[in-house]
């Protein structure tokens, strides 16, 4: 892709990411609250503690739902990352990494070491 278009898309993605910085921070905090609620819910033994941590998790979940616009900012950050990789000439792939047989992988690495 032309450097001009990469620069233009990078500036646009940067502006979008910065404009959604507040909701992204709110989403991160609410996800930490959800994680804490679930974590302590699973560790609690009394019914009152389980009720409290379930309540904390639900409140965190509602806060996370209210920060849905943060997903646009996360997508803009992902776009910035892909533009950065494209700018440096690295390949950009969104495909899942396929795990191969560990012995085959070992043989490939052993051959690289012997070269």
List pLDDT tens digits, range 22-68: 999 999 999 999 999 999 999 999 999 999 999 999 999 999 999 88
* 53 close to 34: Cβ distance less than 8 angstroms: no
Instruction: At 16, list the tokens.
Output: 């979008």
CA atoms within 13 A on the CB side of 61: 8
What separation in angstroms does the CA of 98 have from each of 3, 26, 55, 102? 31, 34, 39, 12
d(CA 55, CA 62): 11
List pLDDT tens digits, range 64-90: 999 888 999 999 999 999 988 888 877
Q: Within 10 Å of residue 115's Cβ, how many Cβ atoms?
A: 4
């Amino acid at each position: 892709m032309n450097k001009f278009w990469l620069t233009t898309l990078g500036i646009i993605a940067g502006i979008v990411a910065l404009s959604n910085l507040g909701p992204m921070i709110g989403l991160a905090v609410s996800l930490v609250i959800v994680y804490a609620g679930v974590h302590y819910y699973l560790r609690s033994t009394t019914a009152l503690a389980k009720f409290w941590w379930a309540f904390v998790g639900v409140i965190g979940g509602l806060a996370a739902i209210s920060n849905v616009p943060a997903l646009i900012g996360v997508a803009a950050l992902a776009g910035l990352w892909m533009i950065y990789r494209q700018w440096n000439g690295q390949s950009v792939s969104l495909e899942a990494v396929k795990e191969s047989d560990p012995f085959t992988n070992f043989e490939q690495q052993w051959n690289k070491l012997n070269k």
